Structure 1
Amino acid sequence: MGHPEPAPRAGGDADIAVIGALVADPGRCRILLALDDGRALPATRLAAEAGVSPATASSHLGKLTEGGLLAVEARGRHRYYRLAGPAVARLIEALQQLAPAMPISSLRQHTRAHALREARTCYDHLAGRLGVELMSAMIGNGHLTGGDGTFDLARARQDRPTGYGHDVDYTLTASGEELLAGLGLRLPARRRPVRYCVDWSEQRHHLAGALGRGLLDRFTQAGWIRRTGTTRAVSVTDAGRRGLRDVLGIDLTPP
């Protein structure tokens, strides 16, 4: 189920300094990045992700929740935290676009950065090279119509180099509906079927909305992709490479 967009707030200009203060701490940023794949995680896991003590993590989580960036839910004796909604995910993606890259001083850091650019989750859908290849294949095979998947900053009206797009109205075709039926995928009626994001690492469109969420869930269930531990990176399995090639014509041979 998708999260509703926040309602407009009454009052004066938005106080962006409040949000700036929340994301100014590296530990809090690592917590937000750990949750950017849409999952809900316990405080102990997030403390490990942030590299801080449980007490420090508790303080960070309290500030992020009070500031409206996180939501918390109780499951038995444990409390689980998740991003408060897609607007927060878009904020994280935008910050990643604007922020300088961290210096890479080890093979492990290089491998992790490469994995994120190859295939990752963007809140509740796929991004990175895999995400834009999926979008391109859906368009090229006639499953989507309305645009060509490209982003041109010089011609953009509302779109920015990252985050949800608004300039292009993509529509699922009859061929696309047949594809979803073949995959055993039904889209929820209460959510906009097709949306797109401008991918910050590829600078092209990747698929979002109910269709993006549905394909992520279906590929995960089918064992075509799997999460790679504590990061947002996902890996494509051998079965996934065959399935993506046979069903959508996507060749994921390393570039």
Structure 2
Amino acid sequence: MLKPVESEENSHALEYAMANVAAAMADPSRVKILCALMDGRAWTATELAAVADIAASTTSAHLSRLVSGSLITGLSQGRHRYFRLAGQDIAELLERMMGISWRSPSAARISTPVPLRLARTCYDHLAGEVAVDIFDAMVNLAWLTDGGTVLTDKGHQQFAQMGIELNGKNRRKLCCGCLDWSERRFHLGGEAGAAFFSHCERQQWIARTTGFREITITSVGRLAFKKWFGVE
């Protein structure tokens, strides 16, 4: 039988764990690091120090805190060590926090850079104004149910026609509406969102901006998005 003190500690384990995650994020430099990793790629400590504008020694301590909070993971390859978000769920948490923070009076006075608002990465899928318009078009075209919770039979057919393969057998949701923090509306997440993003890259419809989350829509991409979704 557990002692009363041990039983009380166990009953509050979830609250302590939540507080630990919140504490790991409670620093502007660590938030900058997490936002940089929202592009879905792995970064070195040196690269993250530059984007967060902090010293290398300070970056090491921040990265250790984020790793211990299970927000990021580190992996070694050759002589280098890379860091990335611990998973899609962390990216979704950050995106929702951005939306909540944007509602505050101080954040409302900040104007989002136009390129970032137009199109950006949200971990492994497309976000921003263009992504929201594509999501709305998919719903209107009956590819997705309202809210993006189900990819319809027509949606499966259209994805296949575009040349997008969906596994549908992994543990990840096939599709979902991911709330876009700058637009306050949904863009496409889940496996379908990631597969669509990868397809756009392969077809050179979009181009990444090295070191940033901004996405450039190419001339080929503008034509493709207009053809498939009527998005200008």
TM-score bracket, shorter-length normalisation = 0.7 to 0.9
CA gap of 1:130–1:182, structure 2 versus 1, over 3 A, is: same
Whether 1:186 and 2:187 are equivalent positions in the alignment is no
Following TM superposition, the consecutive aligned residue runs of length 4 or more in structure 1 with deviations greater than 3 angstroms are: none
Counterpart Cα distance in 2 of 1:132 and 1:56: 37
Counterpart Cα distance in 1 of 2:28 and 2:166: 37
1:14 match: secondary structure:
helix
Q: Does the CA-based 8 Å contact 1:119-1:131 persist in structure 2?
A: yes
TM-score by length of 1: 0.78
Q: Deviations over 1:176-198 (max 9, x none)?
A: 22322222211123143211112
Q: Does the CA-based 8 Å contact 1:132-1:204 persist in structure 2?
A: yes
Report the equivalent of 2:73: 71
Q: Does the CA-based 8 Å contact 2:96-2:179 persist in structure 1?
A: no
Report the equivalent of 1:14: 15
Counterpart Cα distance in 1 of 2:207 and 2:11: 45
Matched ranges for 1:175-254 at <5 A: 175-188=154-167, 189-190=169-170, 191-251=172-232
Counterpart Cα distance in 2 of 1:20 and 1:95: 11
Q: Deviations over 1:87-108 (max 9, x none)?
A: 221221222122242865xxxx
Aligned-residue sequence identity (percent) comes to 38
Counterpart Cα distance in 2 of 1:236 and 1:171: 25
TM-score by length of 2: 0.85
Post-superposition shift, 1:128? 1.4
Post-superposition shift, 1:242? 0.5
- Which segments of 5 or more consecutive residues in structure 2 lack a partner in the other structure? 1-9
Report the equivalent of 1:169: 149
CA RMSD of aligned residues (A): 2.0
**Structure with the greater alpha carbon radius of gyration:** 2
Matched ranges for 1:27-66 at <5 A: 27-66=29-68
CA gap of 1:182–1:171, structure 2 versus 1, over 3 A, is: closer
Post-superposition shift, 1:132? 1.0
Report the equivalent of 1:128: 128
1:18 match: secondary structure:
helix
Q: Does the CA-based 8 Å contact 1:70-1:81 persist in structure 2?
A: yes
CA gap of 1:103–1:229, structure 2 versus 1, over 3 A, is: farther
Q: Does the CA-based 8 Å contact 1:172-1:194 persist in structure 2?
A: no
Counterpart Cα distance in 1 of 2:229 and 2:29: 40
Given residue 14 of structure 1, which amino acid in structure 2 is its aligned partner?
E
Counterpart Cα distance in 1 of 2:181 and 2:28: 20
Per residue, is there more helix in 1 or in 2?
2
Q: 2:107 aligns with which of 101, 110, 114?
A: 101
